[in-house]
Structure 1
Amino acid sequence: MKKILFPTDFSEVANNAFVHALEFAKLVNGELILLHTFDLPVVDNQFIPENYYKIFDSIQLAQFDMFKEEIPKLREIAQKRNLDHIKLSHKLMDGDLIYAIKSAVNDEKIDFIVMGTSGSTGWESFFVGSNTGAVVTTVDVPVLSVPIEAKFAKIEIIGFTTRFREKDKAALREVIKIAKKTHAIVKCLYVKTNKSDVSDAIINEWKTEFENEPVQFSVTLSDHVKETILDFVSHKNIDILAMITHKRNFFSELFNPSLTQKLANISIVPVLAMHEG
């Protein structure tokens, strides 16, 4: 059974992503491990106030009480979607969220991470821009990030961006496995820029190798890579976009509000960030 880590602050952003996490768990035959973190007051080691441990205990207790209050709400969401058979377990950790995620990935042998993304401030600001990029590039497992605008829909078309490198094939095969479970097709996009050096022969080799799989390939000539990918998502009715992470900033910037606002009618969809094979 696959293990899926779900970091949450129990916000609307996270609860929207929780629906996607449940459905994804159903798809890959997985269980969910909910992770919530909290900060303790920072004190100088040379001067620990007498009541510090009382403060420590009260903060921990308050967080635990909130955790106990919120978990039934998530179970209710699962029940409403007839997904209450999905196994849920919980981790409550103090300290830095990225460190906690990395620790949980190692300790629990995590296969996937699912998390919400938003442009909000505070704890939720973790789930946007460079922070999301930090998680994507500091863990070795695929990360499904779910924008608040992306309501769950049945996955029928999965987008996959490729540069037709040999090491992209492993990620594509993983995406095909997911697609077959939901009877979806995979639409592959290669954005050919002026600097591109991929030959027609290599593209044809890929087409031949994957001809018996539910995969379609398209090549678009453009030097505006991010805009072309967003256009592809909207016009090809993509339900989820799978990408191989090679540049942290690229991932962070792709769904940046300043970019998406420039383009009309952009579909904001979940992004599955995968690692190079």
Structure 2
Amino acid sequence: MKKILFPTDFSEVADNAFVHALEFAKIVNGELVLLHTFELPVYDNQFFPENYNVLFDSLQLIEFDMFKEEIPKLHNIATERNLDHIRMSHRLMDGNLLHNIKKAIKEEKIDFIVMGTSGATGWEAFFIGTNTGNVLTAVDVPVLSVPLESKFKKIETIGFTTRYRAKDKKALKDVLKIAKKTNAQVKCLYVKTNNSDVSEATIKQWEEEFADEPIQFSVIPSDDIQDTILDFILFKDIDVLAMLTYKRNFFVELLKPSLTQKFSNRLHIPILAIHE
């Protein structure tokens, strides 16, 4: 059984992503590990010599009480979607979010992470320096990022960008496993620029190898990679876009504010970032 880590701050963004986490757990026959982290403020105990420990105990108790109040709400969401059979465990951890996520991955043997990101600039922030963006570049398990505007729908088409490398093929096979569990089709995109070095023989070899799989390959000549991918998302009716994280700067360019405004309707889909 796959284990899915779901970090939450119990916000609207997180609650929306929780629905995706539940449905993803159903697809991969997984269980959820719900993680809430908090950082206690730093005080100089020389100014609070007598009540220093009492102060910290009180702050921890407040976090624990809030945790106890919010967890049942998530269980109610699962029940409303008839997904209350999904196994869930809970972790409340003090300290840095990224540190705790990495610790939970190791201790719980996590296979996937599902997190939320928000707003028109959420896509940009996801890849630049938010909690989700930091997780994306610091862990070695796939991260499913879910924007607030992305309401769950049955996954029928998974997009996958490729450069026809060996590591891309491995990732494609992993995506294909997920697609088969939900009877989805995988649509692969290769943007062939003037500097592309992929041979026609390599492309043909991939097409022959995956000929019996629900995979469709598209090779589009263009030097505008960002616009081509965005067009691909729209015209191929992509429900989830899977991408390798080999170029963080590329993600920043792809989802910078000017493009998110221009193509906002296309970007309301989850992105499955697969570590190389």
TM-score (norm 1): 0.93
Q: What is the CA deviation profile of residues 51-102 of structure 1, one whole-angstrom value per residue up to 9, with x for unaligned ones?
A: 1211111111111111111111111110011000001111111121111111
Q: What is the CA deviation profile of residues 175-206 of structure 1, one whole-angstrom value per residue up to 9, with x for unaligned ones?
A: 11111110000000001112111111110010
Alpha-carbon separation, structure 2, partners of 1:13 and 1:264: 17
Kept after mapping to 2: 8 A contact 1:255/1:268: no
The worse-fitting range, judged by mean Cα deviation, of 249-258 and 227-236 is 249-258
Q: How many residues align?
A: 273
Say if 1:27 and 1:61 are closer, same or farther in 2 by CA, change over 3 A: same
Say if 1:228 and 1:120 are closer, same or farther in 2 by CA, change over 3 A: closer
Q: Which residue of 2 aligns with 1:84?
A: 84
Q: Which residue of 2 aligns with 1:244?
A: 244
User: Which structure 1 segments of 5+ residues have no match?
Assistant: none
Alpha-carbon separation, structure 2, partners of 1:66 and 1:218: 49
Q: How does 1:74-153 map to 2 (within 5 A)?
A: 74-119=74-119, 129-131=128-130, 132-153=132-153
Q: Which residue of 2 aligns with 1:261?
A: 261
Letter of the structure 2 residue corresponding to residue 196 of structure 1: S
Q: Which residue of 2 aligns with 1:208?
A: 208
**Secondary structure of 1:34's aligned partner:** strand
Alpha-carbon separation, structure 2, partners of 1:187 and 1:260: 22
Alpha-carbon separation, structure 2, partners of 1:252 and 1:88: 34
Letter of the structure 1 residue corresponding to residue 225 of structure 2: V
Say if 1:193 and 1:58 are closer, same or farther in 2 by CA, change over 3 A: same
**Secondary structure of 1:261's aligned partner:** helix
Letter of the structure 2 residue corresponding to residue 154 of structure 1: K
Alpha-carbon separation, structure 1, partners of 2:127 and 2:247: 16
Alpha-carbon separation, structure 1, partners of 2:138 and 2:197: 29
1:50 aligns with 2:50: yes
Alpha-carbon separation, structure 1, partners of 2:196 and 2:70: 50
The worse-fitting range, judged by mean Cα deviation, of 258-267 and 55-64 is 258-267
Q: Per-residue deviation at 1:118?
A: 1.3
Q: Percent identity?
A: 70
Q: Which residue of 2 aligns with 1:154?
A: 154
Q: Per-residue deviation at 1:48?
A: 5.5
Q: Which residue of 1 aligns with 2:166?
A: 166
Q: Per-residue deviation at 1:37?
A: 1.0
Say if 1:62 and 1:259 are closer, same or farther in 2 by CA, change over 3 A: same
Q: What is the CA deviation profile of residues 122-168 of structure 1, one whole-angstrom value per residue up to 9, with x for unaligned ones?
A: xxx98563233321121010000001111100000000000001121
1:25 aligns with 2:25: yes
Alpha-carbon separation, structure 2, partners of 1:184 and 1:211: 16
CA root-mean-square deviation: 2.0
TM-score (norm 2): 0.93
Letter of the structure 1 residue corresponding to residue 113 of structure 2: I
Q: How does 1:8-23 map to 2 (within 5 A)?
A: 8-23=8-23
Say if 1:265 and 1:36 are closer, same or farther in 2 by CA, change over 3 A: closer
1:64 aligns with 2:51: no
